[in-house]
Amino acid sequence: MSEKVLMKGNEAIAEAAIIAGCRHYFGYPITPQTEIAAYMAKRMPKIGGTFLQAESEIAAINMVYGASAAGMRVMTSSSSPGISLKSEGISYIAGADLPAVIVNAQRGGPGLGGIQPSQSDYFQATRGGGHGDYHMIVLTPASVQEMAELTVKAFDLADKYRMPVMILADGTIGQMMEPVSFDFKLNEPPAKPWATNGTKMQREHNIINSLYLKPLDLEVENMKRFERYEIVKQNEPMYEEYMTDDADIILAAFGIAARVCKNAIKKARKEGIKVGLIRPITVWPFPNEPFEKAVKTCKAIISVELSMGQLIEDVRLATGGKVPVTLCNRVGGMIPEPEEILEEIHRVANGG
Amino acid sequence: MTKQYLFAGFGGQGILFAGKLLAYKCLMDDLNVSWLPSYGPEMRGGTASCGVVMSDNQIATPIVLHPDVLIAMNLPSLDKYESEVQSGGVIYVDSSLIERKVNRKDVTVYYIPATLLAAQNGLDGLANMIIMGQILKNEGAINDESVEKALQKCISQRHKDLLKFNRDAIILGSEY
Amino acid sequence: MVIFDKPKALLDVPLHYCPGCTHGIIHRIIAEVIDELNIEGKTIGIAPVGCSVMAYDYFSCDMIEAAHGRAPAVATGVKRSDPENIVFTYQGDGDLASIGTAEIVHAAARNENITVVFVNNAIYGMTGGQMAPTSLIGQVTQTSPYGRDPKLCGFPVKICEMLAPLEGPEYLERVAVNSVVNVKKAKKAIKKAFENQLNNKGFSLVEVISSCPTNWGMTPEKALEWIDTNMIPYYPLGVYKDRSANAEVQHD
């Protein structure tokens, strides 16, 4: 499939997962991600894979836990309220050091919220969501092509670091169609000697577990896990810089918000205002480097997001108060228009 | 060059399909393109819309707020989006369903009784393709090979028998 | 001459269960069955949350610890990964019949080809003796200090009876482990539940009426008697469903 095809973002995730060797998918219907389940339901039986519609989000993530424990590349997908339900299982997956890929096509919240696009699960994705000290690697695609590429990357990262990886998308990127090419370089999944797939009477039994009743044992496990997280922080931050070289004002945004920012930047540049964009592609680990660099030359940063201000906290941590950081946002399923961002750019350019 | 289209009408009028055909044509022409539908319960019989952005450059936002070209297939859509069209833009109106005229003076308007034409020619449900034929003619693209290629992509093997009707509707629209 | 030996499928480690607890008997039965069917190398056990949470340290086959109530979903994931493997869950009454009702009902409805050993001792043991979904009417526990009042908290859940009308499950039987005769019957049932899986027959659940002397506040001996006098009258032993045997439902 090297030729470009037109596909919805959600479908691109599903196809890319299959290309990456995922043969087990467990999910539960929820808008706006149901295309992923529908695609898997159609394709999996034809390639010897498993698609199973679980009785709940909770059951689905625990099926993922089981299949991952058995050594499989496995995925589930949902949207915001469903991810809350899955958070229990995600914590267990992290605690048992299992690889898994979880897709969140975000919609508005809290509660049942709405079904239109949102980025308000940023804290949930980057700060936990479930209980305990743990992290997921969180990838934020901004195009259908990235939906596909980052899905393949998600499986590689999950296996490499034995941890859950979330694709933090939104309703827009999931629902829109763009040309996409599935011409990837694929990596062999690593061997999984830890998997519970039967001892074959040739080794000691493996145990997949997150329970450590002795405090010291649990402390050691947590410390070891965080040493691994440090390596992830060193190696894996990803970001895109757009017209930042000479920028006085830098926009920080991911996903669909970053796409809108590019329109605003073009408009601002026509007016002679030098604006650029830093687009984190991983939001955990957060790409601090481009922000640390930017504060040396830029005058202000605007965090553009579909939430009440969540990304902005990481931007502030990364910039250490060296330049003012302001918020430009819409929520509830609304998306800021380029003109609204331009207005904030004007305000900041005129000294805020 | 970047051009933004907005297709709007009732669910069931083939709004999303028309956008998809255009998007596929762009892909066949090796242009960048995005197609973004309204989604959710409104698709079941309520209003439906989709935005298509084509460009020879990278496409920034796929969200079409101020289209260069509006295709209005019912009155609520014209009422809602008429004022959003770019000055110098184009509006296509299904005049068999929309009785009023476009108020704007700074846009080009094409009135096509597409639903009526479809009914008269045994092409029920293909008003969308009739308007598409008109768009393709006006943009000088009616004879592009990519139109046929796009049709082949958009219509699944299972519904192959519908290809001819869609072709006929496009031709009918281009001749209006 | 060996008179008594541990089954190979049980590791030679001390169990953490209270004196007089019947979990040990049930563990042993499962391990004997694994040995007799020679399936240790392809068996994966799923431990629950509750008293048997650390079962993963006791069985010599591969083991997974599941979140509370989710063992049937985890088992589904494992079984679907390699249908050749033999997958069993070991769950208590709080785990299976309260927080995990959705998972057990739907695993049964799907006729998931797994083996479920459901230990019903009518109490939350691990947390110190709270009311379980299967606690009897009038039973005094930490959270029903005046006895379980059905007006306040409803009636005990009968899992075998509840699952039996579903089309899905292959085999449902309730047994007890409070006498030599009952233990023998329990072993026969559990063995059948594993054999069913080997023969791809589908979902098999054995409910084992078990005792909890510590939280019932009884001597082990008295607790075994209490099973006969109080538990079994409410939870009749017998086969509730056996599709392939096409047997009539039998109650003792």
Taking only the tens place, the pLDDT of each residue in B83-129 is: 999 999 999 999 999 999 999 999 999 999 999 999 999 999 999 99
Q: Is B140 left (phi over 0), alpha (psi -120 to 50) or beta?
A: left
pLDDT digits (tens, 9 = 90+) for A131-185: 999 999 999 999 999 999 999 999 999 999 999 999 999 999 999 999 999 998 8
The CA-atom distances, in angstroms, between C55 and each of A164, A257, C91, C133 are 26, 49, 10, 22
Question: Which residue of A26, A59, A65 is in closest CB contact with C103?
Answer: A59
Q: Are C185 and C149 in contact (CB under 8 A)?
A: no
> Is C101 exposed, middle or buried, given 0-12, 13-18 or 19+ CB atoms closer than 10 A?
middle
What are the residues of chain A with a beta carbon less than 8 Å away from any beta carbon of chain C?
A: 24, 26, 50, 52, 54-56, 58-60, 62-72, 74, 88-89, 92, 96, 196-202, 205-211
DSSP C107-144: HHHTT-S-EEEEEE-SSBTTTTSBPPTTPPTT--BTTB
Per the structure block, which two tokens stand in for A220?
């050691």
Cα separation, A134 vs A26, in Å, equals 23
What does the CA dihedral C157, C161, C165, C166 come to, rounded to 10 degrees? 60
Cα separation, A64 vs A103, in Å, equals 12
- Listed in sequence order, the DSSP H helices in B8-74 are 15-28
C244 — pLDDT class (breaks 50, 70, 90): confident
Q: Do chains C and B touch (3 or more CB pairs under 8 A)?
A: no
Q: What domains can you pick out in chain C, each with its CATH number?
A: 23-251 (3.40.50.970)
Q: How many domains does chain B have?
A: 1
Question: Tens-of-pLDDT digits for all 352 residues of chain A?
Answer: 468 999 999 999 999 999 999 999 999 999 899 899 999 999 999 999 999 999 999 999 999 999 999 999 999 999 999 999 999 999 999 999 999 999 999 999 999 999 999 999 999 999 988 999 999 999 999 999 999 999 999 999 999 999 999 999 999 999 999 999 999 889 999 999 999 999 999 999 999 999 999 999 999 999 999 999 999 999 999 999 999 999 999 999 999 999 999 999 999 999 999 999 999 999 999 999 999 999 999 999 999 999 999 999 999 999 999 999 999 999 999 999 999 999 999 999 998 7
Question: How confident is the model at residue A1, as a pLDDT?
Answer: 45
According to CATH, the topology of domain A240-349 is Rossmann fold (3.40.50)
Residues 6 or more apart whose CB falls under 8 angstroms from that of A335 comprise A117, A172, A256, A257, A260, A306, B63
Choose, out of A55, A92, A93, A213, the residue to mutate when testing the contact with C (most C CBs < 10 Å): A55
Question: How confident is the model at residue A258, as a pLDDT?
Answer: 98
Per the structure block, which two tokens stand in for C9?
């499928």
Q: What is the mean pLDDT of residues C12-30?
A: 95
**Cis peptide, bond prior to residue A32, ω within 30 of zero:** yes
Q: Scanning every residue of chain A, which has its alpha carbon at the shortest distance from the alpha carbon of B26?
A: A179
Cα separation, C101 vs C97, in Å, equals 5
B157 — pLDDT class (breaks 50, 70, 90): confident
Choose among B93, B91, B171: nearest CA to B129. B171
Choose, out of B7, B25, B30, B36, the residue to mutate when testing the contact with A (most A CBs < 10 Å): B36
Query: Do the strands C171-176 and C238-242 form a parallel or antiparallel pair, or are they unpaired?
Result: antiparallel
Residues 6 or more apart whose CB falls under 8 angstroms from that of A223 comprise none
Which CATH entry fits the domain spanning A5-235: 3.40.50.450, 3.40.50.970, 3.40.718.10, 3.40.50.300? Answer: 3.40.50.970
Cα separation, A123 vs B142, in Å, equals 50
- Given the structure tokens 């902005």, which residue do they identify? A312
Q: What is the pTM of this model?
A: 0.93
How many of the other CB atoms lie within 10 Å of CB of C8?
15
Q: Scanning every residue of chain C, which has its alpha carbon at the shortest distance from the alpha carbon of A90?
A: C67
CA–centroid distance for A291 within its chain: 20
Q: At what angle do helices A57-69 and C71-81 cross, to 10 degrees?
A: 50
- Given the structure tokens 């519908």, which residue do they identify? B162
Are B37 and A178 within 8 A, CB to CB?
no
pLDDT at C247 over 90: no
How does DSSP classify residue C57? Answer: G
C197 interaction partners in chain A (CB closer than 8 Å):
none
Q: Longest C-alpha distance within chain A, in Å?
A: 73
A171 interaction partners in chain B (CB closer than 8 Å):
39
Cα separation, C64 vs C87, in Å, equals 10
DSSP bridge partners of C176? C209
Q: At B92, phi and psi to the nearest 5?
A: -100, 130
- Given the structure tokens 């919240």, which residue do they identify? A109
Residue C149, amino acid? D
Cα separation, A149 vs A153, in Å, equals 6
Establish, for the pair of chains A and C, how many residue pairs have beta carbons separated by less than 8 Å. Answer: 135
Residues 6 or more apart whose CB falls under 8 angstroms from that of B62 comprise A172, A176, A178, A256, A259, B34, B35, B36, B51, B53
Are A175 and B34 within 8 A, CB to CB?
no
The CA-atom distances, in angstroms, between C173 and each of A345, C136, C207, C215 are 71, 20, 6, 26
Q: Scanning every residue of chain A, which has its alpha carbon at the shortest distance from the alpha carbon of C10?
A: A205
DSSP A192-253: -TT--S--TTSSPPPEE-----SHHHHHHHHHHHHHHHHHHHHH---EEEES-TT-SEEEE-
The CA-atom distances, in angstroms, between A202 and each of A197, B60, C30, C128 are 12, 56, 21, 39
Question: How confident is the model at residue B44, as a pLDDT?
Answer: 52
A66 interaction partners in chain C (CB closer than 8 Å):
46, 64, 66, 73-79, 81
pLDDT at B42 over 80: no
What's the domain range around B158? 2-175
Whole-complex ipTM: 0.91
C64 interaction partners in chain A (CB closer than 8 Å):
65-66, 69, 196, 207-209
Cα separation, C230 vs C252, in Å, equals 15
Q: Are A66 and A96 in contact (CB under 8 A)?
A: no
How does DSSP classify residue B142? Answer: T
CATH code at position B68: 3.40.920.10
A263 interaction partners in chain B (CB closer than 8 Å):
60-61
3-state secondary structure A117-144: ECCCCHHHHHHCCCCCCCCCEEECCCCH
Q: Are B119 and B112 in contact (CB under 8 A)?
A: no
Choose among A109, A265, A195: nearest CA to C81. A195
Per the structure block, which two tokens stand in for C156?
């005990």
How does DSSP classify residue A72? Answer: -
Cα separation, B23 vs B35, in Å, equals 6
What does the CA dihedral A164, A141, A344, A308 come to, rounded to 10 degrees? -30
Question: Per 3-state DSSP, what percentage of chain A is helix, strand, and coil (rounded to 5)?
Answer: 40, 20, 40
When computed from its CA atoms, the radius of gyration of chain B, rounded to whole angstroms, is: 15
Question: Which residue of C59, C85, C105 is in closest CB contact with A197?
Answer: C85
Choose among B108, A91, B67: nearest CA to C68. A91
C252 — pLDDT class (breaks 50, 70, 90): low
Are B63 and A6 within 8 A, CB to CB?
no
pLDDT digits (tens, 9 = 90+) for C120-138: 999 999 898 999 999 999 9
Per the structure block, which two tokens stand in for B145?
């090979």
Residues 6 or more apart whose CB falls under 8 angstroms from that of A270 comprise none
Are A172 and B63 within 8 A, CB to CB?
yes
Name the percent of chain C lying above pLDDT 70: 97
Q: At what angle do helices A338-349 and A255-270 cross, to 10 degrees?
A: 60
Question: Which residue of A55, A72, A196 is in closest CB contact with C63?
Answer: A196
Choose, out of B63, B86, B153, the residue to mutate when testing the contact with A (most A CBs < 10 Å): B63
Question: How confident is the model at residue B47, as a pLDDT?
Answer: 79
Q: At what angle do helices A144-161 and A9-19 cross, to 10 degrees?
A: 40
The C-alpha angle with vertex C203 and arms to A207 and A86, in degrees rounded to 5, equals 55
Cα separation, B35 vs B26, in Å, equals 11
Domain boundaries, chain A: 5-235, 240-349
Tell me the pLDDT of chain B averaged across its residues.
Answer: 94
Cα separation, B38 vs A172, in Å, equals 9
- Using the Cβ of B7 and the Cβ atoms of chain A, whether some distance falls under 8 Å is answered with no
What does the CA dihedral A150, A311, A92, A89 come to, rounded to 10 degrees? -80
Q: What is the mean pLDDT of residues B60-79?
A: 96
> Is A320 exposed, middle or buried, given 0-12, 13-18 or 19+ CB atoms closer than 10 A?
exposed
